[in-house]
């Protein structure tokens, strides 16, 4: 069967500044944390060792072209643009992003730009990061500066990439700096991130720019183990905490009432100001990026909560290891392609069918060298992964979902936070030592699919 996609469908991939650019001026929390605890990073490899996009951006854009990308998302690094977060703009950084954006446009690759992809300037973290409302204002100023500098040539902006991840990593589960475990502080960070998002949207609207503004959320559909009310409630609470805590404010302009009631009942609500709700209502977006990697399967708790333990989302559910689920063993994530369809249908039926696209989807695999055939990684598993997800995406579109494109994580194998280079996601293999780039089989498959705007499958 042939799966054809709508005209002007966005085919591309996503990456981020810190994961690709390489060592430069402007310290982030990652540089700071790595200098102190390199053991927290796979094989002790830190954010200095990247695919050197800062040097190789021009040839890398040629490779994007070879993969027939018509669009590409990367991020601007706040710390590199404004090293202390609030003061002078670094002119060299401005020149760099100007060149990248211009070259992408010249090559017919539409730039999609994210303003914050996990990379808090250390100077901002030193004053409390997202816990401090001054950082919210500093971010809004940074966003405005980016719109003024690049807003005439960038028509698709994203305020944040996966804003729930720094909340989970930094304030609940200890896999991002500042390694705090404290739900109330996590809720404050999440809340202030929504305020920062809304202020950036406000600034964008005030500037009357030609393009559109959105956010990228990692949506993990929550599936209950059974239809037993206790399992269903567990899935509902997981959905409120991990999806709707950002999805509702950015699409509906307000928080779900039952999320607010739940946090209130456990005295976990962040401090709010009376003017916040009007601001949040102004943060409604034009375009939603959906990152989808895995579903969340949950069941009601089997054991009582230890009341002395820190308050955590898991007070309300247990994770459910469904027998026989298909796993990506390297990342430990379930592979469940229908999830992409369920997300789109939920957006269509419950959120007014917003303009959206799949902004990340992908499969990280360890030791891909073992799949080299005639000098090229034959990553059949990745082609299978993509085509399976695309068939479900296609079904969503054919049933009226407003999905405008599909971007993969990622373009060239890149440095991946605490996992460093453990799992490789790229269409292009990177030799970290020599910086040599070699297109994988999946890159060729994707290039053909993008060119034809379709693919064939039995």
Determine if 407 is a binding residue for ligand BG6 (CB under 6 A): no
Beta carbon of residue 191, minimum distance to ligand BG6 (angstroms, whole number): 21
Given 331, 389, 437, 440, the residue binding ligand BG6 (CB under 6 A): 331
In whole angstroms, the minimum distance from the beta carbon of 349 to ligand BG6 comes to 26
Segment interacting with ligand BG6 (CB under 6 A) among 101-109, 417-425, 433-441, 447-455: 417-425
Place of tokens 């909560």: 305
Is the dihedral angle over the CA atoms 264, 270, 271, 272 positive or is it negative?
negative
**Contact region with ligand BG6 (CB under 6 A), list: 34-42, 269-277, 371-379, 415-423:** 415-423
Q: Of the two residues 73 and 199, which places its CB atom closer to ligand BG6 in the complex? A: 73
169 binds ligand BG6 (CB under 6 A): no
Quickly list DSSP for 176-243: STT----HHHHHHHHHHHHHHHHHHHHHHHHTT-SSEEEEEEE---EEESSSSHHHHHHHHHHHIIII
For the CB of residue 14, give the shortest distance to ligand BG6 in the complex, in Å.
7
What minimum distance in Å lies between the beta carbon of 171 and ligand BG6?
17
Judged by CB under 6 A, which of 16, 20, 243, 245 binds ligand BG6?
A: 16
Bridge-based pairing state of the strands 110-114 and 156-161: parallel
> Closest CB to ligand BG6 belongs to which residue?
416
Region binding ligand BG6 by CB under 6 A among candidate stretches 143-151, 297-305, 371-379, 409-417:
409-417
**Which is nearer to ligand BG6, 31 or 162 (by Cβ)?**
162
For residue 207, the minimal CB distance to ligand BG6 (Å) is 27
Judged by beta carbon, residue 331 or residue 440, the one nearer ligand BG6 is 331
Least separation, in Å, of the C-beta of 192 and ligand BG6?
20
CA neighbours within 13 Å on the CB side: how many for 66? 17
**Do 425 and 363 form a contact (C-beta atoms < 8 A)?**
yes
3-state secondary structure 196-211: HHHHHHHHHHHCCCCC
Task: Work out whether 364 is an interface residue with ligand BG6 (CB under 6 A).
Answer: yes
Residue nearer to ligand BG6 on the CB measure, 144 or 442? 442
Q: How far apart are CA 337 and CA 386, in angstroms?
A: 9
Instruction: Report the alpha-carbon distance of residue 2 to residue 294 in Å, rounded.
Output: 26
Q: With binding defined as CB under 6 A, does residue 13 bind ligand BG6?
A: no
Query: Does position 413 bind ligand BG6 by CB under 6 A?
Result: no
Residues 280-299 that bind ligand BG6 (CB under 6 A): 291
Tell me 102's DSSP state.
H
- Asked if 162 touches ligand BG6 (CB under 6 A), the answer is yes
333 with 325: CB under 8 angstroms?
A: no
CB of 364 to ligand BG6, least distance (A): 5
Distances (CA, A) of 194 to 54, 236, 267: 30, 21, 20
Q: Which helix (H) or strand (E) holds 18?
A: helix 17-20
Residues designated catalytic: 162, 360
The reply on whether position 222 binds ligand BG6 by CB under 6 A is no
Is residue 443 within the footprint of ligand BG6 (CB under 6 A)? no
**Angle 397-402-408 from CA coordinates, rounded to 5°:** 75
User: Alpha carbon 454 to chain centroid distance?
Assistant: 25
Q: How far is CA 404 from CA 189, 200, 290, 436, in A?
A: 31, 23, 11, 33
- Name which position in 125, 423, 442, 449 contacts ligand BG6 (CB under 6 A): 423
Pick from 424, 428, 431, 448: which is nearest to 440 by CA? 428
Three-class secondary structure of residue 99 per DSSP:
helix
368 near ligand BG6, judged by CB under 6 A: no
Separation CA 211–CA 55 (nearest Å): 29
**Residues forming the site for ligand BG6 (CB under 6 A):** 16, 19, 161-162, 218, 291, 331, 360, 364, 409, 416-417, 419, 423
């Amino acid at each position: 069967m042939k799966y054809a996609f709508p005209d002007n469908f966005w085919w591309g991939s996503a990456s981020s500044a810190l994961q690709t650019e390489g060592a430069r001026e402007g310290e982030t929390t990652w540089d700071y944390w790595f200098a102190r605890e390199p053991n927290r990073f796979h094989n002790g490899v830190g954010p200095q060792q990247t695919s050197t996009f800062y040097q190789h951006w021009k040839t890398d854009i040629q490779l994007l072209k070879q993969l027939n990308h018509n669009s590409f998302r990367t991020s601007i690094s706040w710390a590199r643009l404004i090293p202390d977060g609030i003061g002078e703009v670094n002119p060299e950084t401005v020149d760099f992003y100007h060149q990248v954006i211009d070259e992408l446009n010249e090559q017919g690759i539409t730039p999609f730009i994210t303003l914050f992809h996990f990379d808090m300037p250390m100077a901002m973290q030193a004053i409390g990061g997202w816990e401090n409302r001054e950082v919210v204002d500093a971010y809004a100023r940074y966003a405005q500066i980016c719109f003024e500098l690049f807003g005439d040539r960038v028509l698709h902006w994203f305020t944040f990439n996966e804003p729930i991840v720094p909340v989970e990593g930094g304030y609940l589960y200890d896999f991002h700096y500042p390694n705090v475990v404290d739900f109330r502080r996590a809720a404050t960070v999440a809340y202030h991130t929504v305020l920062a998002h809304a202020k950036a949207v406000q600034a964008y609207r005030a500037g009357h720019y030609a393009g559109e503004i959105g956010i990228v959320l990692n949506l993990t559909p929550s599936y209950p183990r059974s239809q037993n009310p206790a399992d269903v409630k567990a899935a509902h609470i997981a959905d409120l905490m991990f999806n709707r805590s950002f999805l509702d404010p950015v699409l509906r302009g307000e928080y779900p009432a039952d999320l607010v009631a739940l946090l209130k009942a456990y005295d976990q609500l962040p401090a709010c100001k009376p003017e916040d709700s009007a601001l949040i209502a102004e943060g409604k977006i034009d375009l939603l990026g959906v990152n989808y990697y895995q579903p969340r399967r949950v069941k009601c708790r089997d054991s009582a909560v230890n009341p002395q333990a820190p308050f955590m989302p898991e007070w309300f559910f247990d994770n459910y290891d469904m027998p026989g689920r298909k796993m990506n063993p390297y990342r430990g994530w379930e592979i469940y392609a229908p999830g992409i369809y369920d997300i789109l249908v939920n957006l269509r039926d419950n959120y007014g069918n917003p303009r959206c696209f799949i902004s990340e989807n992908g499969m990280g695999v360890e030791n891909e060298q073992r799949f080299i055939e005639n000098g090229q990684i034959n990553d059949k598993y990745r082609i299978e992964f993509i085509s399976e997800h695309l068939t479900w995406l296609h079904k969503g579109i054919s049933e009226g979902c407003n999905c405008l494109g599909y971007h993969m994580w990622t373009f060239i194998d890149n440095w991946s936070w605490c996992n460093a280079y453990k799992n490789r996601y790229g269409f292009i293999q990177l030799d970290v030592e020599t910086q040599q780039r070699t297109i994988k089989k999946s890159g060729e498959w994707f290039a053909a699919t993008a060119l034809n705007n379709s693919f064939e499958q039995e």
